[in-house]
Amino acid sequence: LVTTLPSTMLAAAPATSNASQRPPAYSYSCRRGEGAATSHGQQHQQQQQRQQRQQMMPLQAVASAMLLLVASSGCISPAAAAPEQGIRLVGAGLPCTGTQSLVVALNKLGYKSCHGIFFWLNTTMRSRWTSYALEGGPLEPALETLLEQGYDATLDVPTVYGWEDLASRYPESKVILTVRDSPEKWYKSFASKLHFPTGFIEFSMRYVGWYYNLDVDGFWTFLDRNQEKIGCNFRKNQTEELKASCIQGYIDHNAKVQATIPSDRLLVFNLKQGWKPLCDFLGVPVPDIPFPQRDITKGITSDVFTDMMDPILSMNFRPFLWFMPLHFLNFYLLYRLCRCCLRRCCCRGGSKKAASEKKDS
């Protein structure tokens, strides 16, 4: 186990070497007392060093135990504790090409993937990537929001709009272009998303957004601007012109990626192909499980509850998946309490009225 101690503790620990452990070499002179004094001074210094090392041993043990405790509790993930390794995989596929399922698949293969949905709960990521991808700002502040959380794979908007810069910034990274069977099927899938949440879903999003100060309306504006970058906007009435513009944006984007990235560094991937082409491209063994199918942006589905048990995805959706049910339970208990109090008040008033009428009679 290699532990990193605080700088103040390291400063207190003296540096030792093999030379300091050997008996001191004395420089005798004509005056015999000079060598004796030098020997005595070095012995005293070595004794102080031994005492300091003995005092540091308990501190080192405590520091090691604390690091083990924090690591075992899961407060520090291996990706966050490890040195920065940068982006290993760049996702160049547009939304609705299977990016949610690919997030789960890549997490199974040892990657930590960032998806566009995660920007809902992180306004810092949202603002910095808006500045870079949609307003022509610098890449570094936006990239920092991914690296500081240990992400090493990017998927979906808005990071997809930085595929060219990311591929250039990390020349050893690989690029995946997720596609659908045809541009028309892609458009149909994109149009079927939940672009206008209503009822319980809208209330839940606004409640969580209010509690965590997430700027819900700003998030929808963020999504609109991301769609408009490729000629789409599904929060407007879909005309033939909008449909044609959106499909052409999909075609042009995919063509540019394939013309820019060398074939040995690029995987054009349809999720129907399953694990094998993906694992062969990444150089990892094929898992003995079915390829994941995930899409929570079409409403409340079983995928939402599956994400509760996923150790990585639950970190991004925890405020929605765990916080909301607890608060609805509180609301329900408060409702029952108020209803019970009203019943008691009404019953007490009725009994007093009946008693007074009986007394009068």
Per-residue pLDDT of the chain (361 residues; tens, 9 = 90+): 333 434 443 444 344 444 434 333 333 333 334 444 445 566 666 666 666 555 555 444 444 444 333 334 333 333 333 345 799 999 999 999 999 899 999 999 999 999 988 888 889 999 999 999 999 999 999 999 999 999 999 999 999 999 999 999 999 999 999 999 999 999 999 888 766 666 776 777 787 778 778 888 888 889 889 999 999 988 788 899 999 999 999 999 999 999 999 999 999 999 999 999 999 999 999 999 999 987 765 544 444 445 545 555 544 555 555 555 666 676 678 778 888 888 777 766 555 555 566 555 5
- Within 10 angstroms of residue 31's Cβ, the number of other Cβ atoms is 9
Rounded-to-10 torsion of CA 58, 61, 67, 73: -100
Q: In what order do the strands lie in the sheet with 89-91?
A: 113-114, 153-154, 89-91, 174-178, 266-269
Query: What is the pLDDT at residue 342?
Result: 82
Query: What is the pLDDT at residue 353?
Result: 57
Query: What is the pLDDT at residue 332?
Result: 73
Query: What is the pLDDT at residue 212?
Result: 75
End-to-end CA distance of the chain: 90
Long-range own/partner contacts, residues 276-285 (CB < 8 A, 24 or more apart): 278/105, 278/109, 278/176, 279/109, 281/174, 281/176, 282/89, 282/109, 282/174, 284/109, 284/110
Query: What is the pLDDT at residue 32?
Result: 39
pLDDT in tens, 138-196: 999 999 999 999 999 999 999 999 999 999 999 999 999 999 999 999 999 988 876 66
Query: What is the pLDDT at residue 350?
Result: 56
Query: What is the pLDDT at residue 28?
Result: 34
Query: What is the pLDDT at residue 19?
Result: 40
Query: What is the pLDDT at residue 264?
Result: 95
Q: What phi and psi, each to the nearest 5 degrees, are found at residue 266? A: -120, 135
Query: What is the pLDDT at residue 93?
Result: 97
Query: What is the pLDDT at residue 241?
Result: 93
Query: What is the pLDDT at residue 345?
Result: 78
What is the DSSP track for 30-97? SSHHHHHHHHHHHHHHHHHHHHHHHHHHHHHHHHHHHHHHHHHHTSS-HHHHSPP---SEEE-PPTTS
Pairing assessment for the beta strands 174-178 and 153-154 based on DSSP bridges? unpaired
| Stated pTM of the model | 0.63
